[in-house]
Chain A
Amino acid sequence: MFAYIIRRVLYAIPILIGVNLLTFALFFVVNSPDDMAVSQLGDKYVTPEAIDNWKRKHGYDKPLFLNPDAGGVETLTDTIFFNKSVKLFAFDFGRSESGRDITTDVTTRMGPSLAVALPTFLVGIGVNICVALMVVMFRATPLDRGAVLVFVALMSISYLFYIIGGQFLVAKTWKLVPISGFHPEGQVWKFLILPVLVGVVAGIGAGARWYRTLFLEEANQDYVRTARAKGCSELRILFRHILPNAMIPILTGVVVLIPALFMGSLLIESFFGIPGLGSYMLDAIRSQDFAIVRSMVFIGSILYIVGLILTDISYTWADPRVRLS
């Protein structure tokens, strides 16, 4: 398995290079360094000198890919591409356009992102699986059909509706929790209740419906009939027989998300004032801070690749017949 992991890691390198090239091309073809300077400098007194100074200060005064004037190795290294994109491979994210150290910001913001995303993820999976198993237990009954109807209805409602509705009811009308905010100093949980609740409820429709499909497929298998014939209780059949056998497709969809939890959620963090990486990305897009966006895209790609590798590994845990080689 070790060799397999090494091979997968090596495969990741060309993928990352591709993502990096694509991101770089998108940013610099769509937006020239002069455009970036103007966006950052504001509306007043944007003189050509100010634009030149800004580009010099932020390292955008160099050629994009080749710098023949530099000579030697610097022909390749003294370029915007090398300094802004290749350095990402050494996890040197540099500074944002406003001068802040991106590595420091990213590490600081990972905590709040995880504080919301992890409980939402875990509670969400637990709730979705339990609800789906319950519905499966009553398959082909009016209860099952009613549940599917409810799931579809829940899926059809916009995520924003859950957020704003949750804030309006729970925080504004009932005054049970703060409407938004986050203070690591204490009582963090008070700020997490509502976003986690909203995240879980918003995910029930799609999640439970998907799990129901997986479980239904297993529920019709011979081993389930055998277990029932042996006198197993329905709960035991659901949790000890059906659930483990449905784990492979569940893991395929779930494990890949685990590393991405670090990236947070754009909407939840923004609406609930959680200072995580999701809102960091959103702020960067709003303020056209491409240094941050570039770094976040790179981190996102790495985490996704890690997620895929973890998914493969998790198969061996869920099903001993699977061997990675």
Chain B
Amino acid sequence: MDLTSVARRAWVAPLLLGLALTGCGKGPWNNPHPPPVDDGITYQSMFTPAPPKHLDPAVSYASDESLFLMQIYEPPMGYHFLKRPYELIPLGAEDFPEVEYLNADGVVIDPSQGEVAFTRYTLTLREDAHYQPHPAFARDDSGDPLYRFDDPEKGRRYRQIGDFPETGSRPVRAEDYVYAIKRLADPYLGSPMLGFMGQYIVGMREFSEQVQTAERGQWLDLDTFDMRGLQVLDERRYRITIHGRYPQFVYWLAMHFFAPIPREVDRFFHNPGFADRNLTLDWWPVGSGPFMMVKNDPNSEIVLERNPNFRADFYPTEGAPGDAEAGLLADAGKRLPMIDRAVFRLEKEVLSLWTKFLQGYYDRSGETHGNTNGVFDQAFVVGPDGVELSEELAGHGITITPDVKPGIYYYGFNMRDPVLGGYSEERRKLRRALQIAFDTEEYLNIFYKGNGIPAHSPIPPGIPGHVEGEAGINPYVYDWVDGEARRKPIEEARRLLAEAGYPNGRHAETGEPLRIFMDVQSQAISNTSMNWIRRAFERIGVQVEYRPADWNRTREKLLTGNTQIYSHGWLADYPDPENFLFLLYSPESPLICECDGANNSSYERPEYDELFRRMRVLPPGPEREALVARMVEMYREDAVWLYAYYPKDIYLNNPWVHNNKRHGISKNTLKYVRIDDAMRQQKRVAWNQPVTWPLYAGGGLVVALLLPGVLAYRRRLRATARLRG
């Protein structure tokens, strides 16, 4: 081997690499997507940071999973895409459910005239709903299911849903919706709804106990058991009966838990050996929605395709104020969905996700999260009008979609704590002093890049009961100055603290400093933010001690009330104030219900509880609004939470993506997305021209490194022995 030839060959490597990259096919070299399978329009997106765990609509309870489920399944109800406050609309059902109230004898009554023992919901399905093509519906010539095996060997060659050559379909029937609710009650599935819905749907608990003791062979046909609260009236109508009155039940009908599951699909996935190849309903959803899952490789990508059997559905013709000006009604009346395929790729790291978005390979910056926090400084600049896009992004034509989540994060006081808890005026003042000292605005700006709105009440924007402006501020913590809410000065906190018996943060009698204890989840808080909080309270002479723990230990403390200040959060299941105000309803206290209740502060005020009970059964209207306002006032008066904020997220969209309005509650918005494919192609090419000089420079560097060695080597070979002296 001659080193000179090695050096010569070093030129060849980058050249070959260059040639190889040039041969990548059409388009830029760095395109991470495989060539399109056809001419249809594909929406390119991602899921992050981990694959979904469950895709069974009875089991899944995570927004990252709803992203897929809500494109595939159609529950009876849904939400209007554009209108705010959020508006419920029929989806799988033809109309809103017909509601009847019954007394204890099962007789229909007027709810204002007598004691309501049961509420009965009758739902009528739309005629045109059909399931996606699926092998579970395939039949042989004699009408029997084509893929029903009694031996695992017979089905061994099928590893993916696409491996089954034959598929079928059928209309959606009322019995499928009923079967889905029965699955919620099957203890073997472990649905999170079993415990909660079991207290409402008549006969659900008994059904669950029956099923639990039943002999479970290869497959358990749930239709062999009856649930008293469920009735199939005919092919298109069914009834659900619940205990008492729970008007919010109709919101639950908009969640995937209540989407139809055909019995034959459940049977299909119980073929022997299927589960060993991950052929389960938990991984291959089957629905009647606008899309169907054609590939599920949770390690890499999930692909949805347009369901050819999807009913006639159209883009809304009305929206919220400002939607028309924002171009959100440009597609009014158009047939949905407006894309043919959606590919979601697993992205674990922000750098690669962000780079692909900027290179135009992802259409939007995120689905369930905006993914802009980690790259905030690259994406945004703070201008006179607040946060604005950086010059580079604005030049790309990227648009912003802010999204205030219908949720709340907070640090709550334990109202049973001997130091901070209680309902005396001193204790209220003490808590208010701490509330004022905790500058939520500054905290959010520093640690959340301003992605949060300080909360003045437990009810976030977009939910009835949330009040903006002067009328909506917490007057115990804020003043209304120059048209905006301004936190009271720190002197006010010191004054309140002194009145509470802690002048300068020390006990008036003992002189002991006031020390407060905060239970924090070690993974959710940084040292810098803990230091910030410590300093915030030092301003009024209060000392802070942290008790970090993981979620399981934190949960144990909450269940036993062994906490003074704790952190928690709540994301709404449905857009009703009841879904937030119940966080302070005393029967929800873990110490009272001896359960995993939501009132972790153990707030107990009989008046609040009474108003809550009245409010939860009232229809929307002034009377209900007045009750909600009074409950919010009590929350402020008693200073139950140290601080709270509504989480905000910023999504970015490439210029070829249209109809980007975010829906805080529902995830079935993919069908509204429109892509300008021609613009996308053109921009991708323009933005991704490879820089080739580094290839040649690299080759040159290798040669430059080798050359001295080669020369020295040659010199050594030519060297002759010299005699000294």
List chain A positions with a Cβ less than 8 A from chain B.
31, 35, 38-42, 44-50, 53-54, 56-57, 95, 97-101, 103-105, 108-109, 134, 137-138, 141, 143, 164, 167-183, 185-187, 189-191, 193, 233-235, 239, 270-273, 275, 279-280, 283, 286-287
Candidates A46, A167, A191, A279; contact of B351 at CB < 8 Å: A167
Q: Which of B457-516 contact A (CB under 8 A)?
A: none
- Chain A residues with CB below 8 A from B54, complex form: 98-99
**How far apart sit A250 and B204, CA to CA, in the bound complex (Å)?**
67
A193–B17 alpha-carbon span in the complex (Å)? 9
Query: Are B192 and A50 within 8 A (Cβ)?
Result: yes
Q: Which of B35, B49, B348 has the most CB of A within 10 A?
A: B348
Taking CB atoms, residues of chain B closer than 8 Å to A179 are 30, 32, 351-352, 355-356, 359
Q: Across the interface, do B61 and A175 meet the contact criterion of CB distance under 8 Å?
A: no
> B351 to A283, Cβ gap below 8 A?
no
B418, CB-defined interface residue at 8 Å: no
Q: List 14 A-B contacts (CB under 8 A).
A: A41-B190, A44-B61, A45-B61, A45-B195, A105-B299, A167-B355, A170-B694, A171-B352, A175-B29, A176-B21, A176-B30, A182-B300, A235-B1, A287-B53
How distant is the Cα of A270 from the Cα of B299 in the complex, in angstroms?
Answer: 11
Contact B695 A176, beta carbon cutoff 8 Å: yes
- With known contacts A108-B299, A179-B351, A138–B690 Cβ distance under 8 A: no
| Residue pair B194, A273 in contact (C-beta under 8 Å) | no
B33 neighbours in A (Cβ, 8 Å): 183
Does the CB pair B30–A175 fall under 8 Å?
Answer: yes
The answer to whether A44 touches B29, judged by C-beta atoms less than 8 angstroms apart, is: no
Interface size, B (range): 35 or more
- Of residues 30 through 46 on chain B, the ones whose CB sits less than 8 Å from some CB of chain A are 30-35
Please determine whether B195 and A175 come into contact, CB atoms closer than 8 angstroms: no
Minimum distance in angstroms from A97 CB to a CB of chain B: 8
Q: Is the CB of B190 within 8 A of A53?
A: yes
A12 smallest CB distance to B (angstroms): 27
Q: Is B231 an interface residue (CB 8 A)?
A: no
Task: Verify A234–B690 contact, CB threshold 8 A.
Answer: no
Closest to A189 in B: B20
Residues from chain A with a CB closer than 8 A to the CB of B53 are 40, 97-98, 287
Contact: B192 with A275, CB < 8 Å? Answer: no
Decide if A53 touches B187 in the complex (CB within 8 Å).
yes
**A75, B282: Cα distance in complex, Å:** 33
Question: Cα distance A191–B573 when bound, in Å?
Answer: 41
Q: Which residues of B contact A57 (CB under 8 A)?
A: 188-190
Give the contact stretch, choosing among B272-280, B524-532, B654-662.
Answer: B272-280
Provided the pairs A175-B689, A273-B346, A275-B346 are in contact, do residues A138 and B32 lie with their beta carbons within 8 angstroms?
Answer: no
B454, chain A: closest CB distance, angstroms: 23
- Taking a contact as CB atoms under 8 Å apart, the answer to whether B300 and A143 are in contact is no
Q: Which residues of B contact A39 (CB under 8 A)?
A: 551-552
- Is B425 an interface residue, CB under 8 A from the partner? no
- Determine whether B402 belongs to the interface, using a CB cutoff of 8 Å to chain A: no
Q: Which of B297, B356, B688, B689 has the most CB of A within 10 A?
A: B356
Are A45 and B596 in contact, CB atoms less than 8 angstroms apart?
Answer: yes
Give CA–CA (A233, B439) in the complex, Å: 76
Q: Kindly state whether residue B51 has any CB partner on chain A within 8 Å.
A: yes
CB within 8 Å: A-B pair count = 186
Which one of B195, B275, B283, B712 lies within 8 Å of A138 (CB-CB)? B712
* Chain B residues, Cβ within 8 Å of A287: 50, 53
Most central of A178, A193, A233, A275 by chain B CB within 10 Å: A178
- Give the contacts of B356-378 with A (CB-CB under 8 A): 356, 359
Cα A178 to Cα B355 in complex, Å, equals 10
Contacts of A172 in B (CB 8 A): 351, 355
Contact call B277/A270, Cβ cutoff below 8 A: no
Report the nearest A residue to B568, measured CB to CB.
A43
A3 CA / B312 CA spacing, docked (Å): 73
Query: Which residue, of B17, B297, B552, B713, has the highest number of chain A Cβ atoms within 10 A?
Result: B552
B112 to nearest A CB, angstroms?
A: 32
Contacting pair A49 B194 (CB below 8 A): yes
Told that A45-B596, A99-B282, A141-B712 touch, could you supply 16 new A-B pairs with CB distance under 8 A?
Answer: A45-B195, A56-B187, A98-B282, A101-B278, A105-B299, A137-B709, A171-B355, A174-B694, A176-B692, A178-B32, A183-B33, A190-B21, A234-B717, A270-B349, A273-B346, A275-B299
* CB of B217 closer than 8 Å to a CB of A: no
A50-B276 contact, Cβ under 8 Å, with A175-B689, A175-B691: no
Distance between B25 CB and nearest chain A CB, rounded to angstroms: 7
When the two chains form their complex, are residues B717 and A279 in contact, meaning their CB atoms are under 8 A apart?
Answer: no
- A40 partner residues in chain B, CB cutoff 8 A: 53
Given A35-B552, A273-B347, A177:B29 Cβ within 8 A: yes
B residues near A105, Cβ cutoff 8 Å: 278, 299
Q: Is the CB of B280 within 8 A of A99?
A: yes
Q: Which of the residues B25, B192, B692 comes within 8 Å of A45, measured between beta carbons?
A: B192
CB-nearest residue of chain B to A284: B50
Is B62 interfacial (CB 8 A cutoff)? yes
A143 to B1, CA, bound (A): 21
Is B24 interfacial (CB 8 A cutoff)?
Answer: yes
Contact A187–B21 (Cβ < 8 Å): no
The answer to whether B351 touches A168 (Cβ under 8 A) is: yes
The 5 closest A-B pairs by CB, nearest first: A47-B195, A275-B299, A178-B32, A98-B53, A180-B352
Neighbouring B residues of A270 by C-beta, 8 Å: 348-349
